[in-house]
Each structure stands twice: as structure tokens, then as C-alpha cells.
Structure 1
Amino acid sequence: MKAKKAELKAVTKELTKAENKKAAAEAKAMEEAKKGEAEDVLKKLLASGMTAEEILAKLQ
């Protein structure tokens, strides 16, 4: 019985560790997606003739 409890505790700890790692990876992927989207918007604005100064002014 004690061995099974110890094994369960170890497996639970391992699962928690894996879930935390997955959550961190998902957060990083989301951040990368947002960064890519922001870069695309910036490129479109620059391509449409807006200057960097105008873009910065709108952001403030």
C-alpha cells in the first residue's frame, strides 16, 4: 500500500511538471503569434505610406 502511494505521488508530481511545461510552451506560442501579428500590421501600415513617426503617434 505504501509503495503504491509513493508511486502515485511520483506520477502525480511528474504529471504536474508536464502540465506546467505544456502551459509555458502554449504561452510562449501565443506570445510569438501576437508578435507576428503585430509585425504584419506594422508592415501593412508602412506599406500603405504611413511613417514610423505617425504610427508611434497613434500608439500613444
Structure 2
Amino acid sequence: MPSVHMSNARWRKSSRSGGGNNDNCVEVAVAETVVAVRDSKNAAGAVLTFPRTAWSEFVAGVPR
């Protein structure tokens, strides 16, 4: 997958994360062609990117 520049991305954390400092959460940012995911406690760390279509299929399969 081609590299995507995410420095200006608007990251958001799940509303179900609890909001505490010790929560294990991920943050998600949506770009034009990909969805990026990172560890909320290590914002400068690795970022995983997925094609938007794959992310949509993943989210559709998550039980509510």
C-alpha cells in the first residue's frame, strides 16, 4: 500500500474508551483513501493503514 501522509489527520478515540489515562485504546483517522489506526498511548508510534473499503467491511462485522 502506498505511503499516506497523516501529520494533519484528525484522530479520534472511541467514546467507549472510558476516558481514563490507563485505558487501552486505539485512535482512528480517516483520510481520502485509507483509515489509519494507532495506539492512543503512543501517538508517535506505528500507524496501521487500511483501505477504506476494508475498514468499512470490518466495522460492519463488529457486533453492536
Instruction: Tell whether the structures are fold-level matches, with TM greater than 0.5.
Output: no
TM value normalised by structure 2: 0.25
User: Comparing both structures, which one devotes a greater share of its residues to strand?
Assistant: 2
Q: Which one scores higher on RCO, CA 8 angstroms, separation ≥ 6?
A: 2
TM value normalised by structure 1: 0.26
Larger Cα-atom Rg? 1
User: Comparing both structures, which one devotes a greater share of its residues to helix?
Assistant: 1
